[in-house]
Structure 1
Amino acid sequence: MHNKVLIIEDEDSIRKFVNLVLQKQGFEVIQAASGEEGLEKVNLENPDVIILDIMLPGIDGFKVCEIIREEYSNIGIIMLTARGQDLDKIGGLESGADDYMVKPFNPLELSARINSLLRRIKASDKDPSNLLISGPFKIDLNCKIAYKNNAELTLTPKEFLLMKIFIQNINKALSRNKLLDLVWGYNFVGDPKIVDVNVRRLRNKLEDNPSSPNYIETVWGVGYRWKES
């Protein structure tokens, strides 16, 4: 299986050129011309590595990086900056990027850095820190499987993602809008009550008594919180 790379770059000429070079290097490449489109592609395609330009129309690369990092810890992110200023580099790394390159850059060097990043990601996948544990629950981030008392849970992709976000934010109140952005995407168009529907379904699968939940607690006027004593 080819490694999947998402290019989020608004300049058509750069995006298409990098796409061509990476395809020749054996990567499966997806393209997005804006931060908003890029976030949608992340949720749909689950890329291994993202090439992310800082200067994007709408949401800039720093914000895109922060949003991705809140949801995905195992996607590699290489940021591109045209200015080459230390402020951009530091800002990119602080927002969660793994590496950066300054335009203009050698596309073969970019390919080499992607391969180096992929090797680091694969090494970290073997780390037991890729398990999330809370009470009787365990989430294996590598296999995308959730367990209760070591019994595998049957969750939809959205329910799994919702549970993962809750356990990554134990005892922290998360608003419905925040959950909507993280699980359904920044540009989700639809009824925001979808959050409540999925929380109710998740409770039915996780709680011993869904009508009196011990784990997914309602925070009135805000949203929900994963409760851990």
Structure 2
Amino acid sequence: MQRLMIADSSDIVRKVGKRILSELGFLVVEAEASQDALRNCQAELPNFLIVDAGLEGALDLIAGVRELPEGKNVRIFYCVIEADLKRMMAGKRAGADEFLLKPFDRKILTSVFGAHVAAA
């Protein structure tokens, strides 16, 4: 089973994301702060990481994961509210692989992550 972490300060976003992604077959871990997320990644790296752009320390979290042994293998999704080019480029420079627009729903998460579950 593939591990996925959602790093977002919103309880609702984490709970909804966890429910949908668990149903798709992921083992989902939640983190409400970037420090918690990095500690969890140091203990056990997820295959996928969703990082909310509004999370305090989000860019440091992405860069920190990339610095970990095997951190380059984590597929990181930087979650933004709108297509803000400046914010997206900052995420890309920190090491994000892809972007995810918020608010996300079942259709979006299934579209983005469904193929990853099938490939596992």
TM range (shorter): 0.7 to 0.9
Distance 2:41 2:102 in 1: 23
Residue 70 of structure 1: aligned partner: 67
Partner SS, residue 73 of structure 1: helix
Distance 1:76 1:117, change over 3 A: farther
Aligned amino acid, residue 21 of structure 1: I
- Asked if structure 2 preserves the Cα contact closer than 8 Å seen for 1:50 and 1:75, the reply is yes
Residue 10 of structure 1: aligned partner: 9
Partner SS, residue 89 of structure 2: helix
- 1:17-32 aligned within 5 A: 17-32=16-31
- Flag as ranges the 4+ runs of structure 1 deviating above 6 A: none
Distance 1:118 1:21, change over 3 A: closer
How many residues are aligned here? 118
Aligned amino acid, residue 31 of structure 1: E
Compute the TM-score of the two structures, normalised by the length of structure 1. Answer: 0.47
Compute the TM-score of the two structures, normalised by the length of structure 2. Answer: 0.87
Partner SS, residue 80 of structure 1: strand
Aligned amino acid, residue 35 of structure 1: S
- Asked if structure 2 preserves the Cα contact closer than 8 Å seen for 1:49 and 1:118, the reply is no
- 1:76-225 aligned within 5 A: 76-116=75-115
> What residue ranges of structure 1 are gaps of 5+ in the alignment?
123-229
Higher helix share: 2
Q: CA RMSD in A?
A: 2.0
**Greater Cα offset, 39-48 or 99-108:** 99-108
> What residue ranges of structure 2 are gaps of 5+ in the alignment?
none
Which protein, 1 or 2, shows the higher relative CO under an 8 Å CA cutoff with sep ≥ 6?
A: 2
Partner SS, residue 51 of structure 1: strand
CA offsets, 1:135-164, max 9 Å, x none?
Answer: xxxxxxxxxxxxxxxxxxxxxxxxxxxxxx
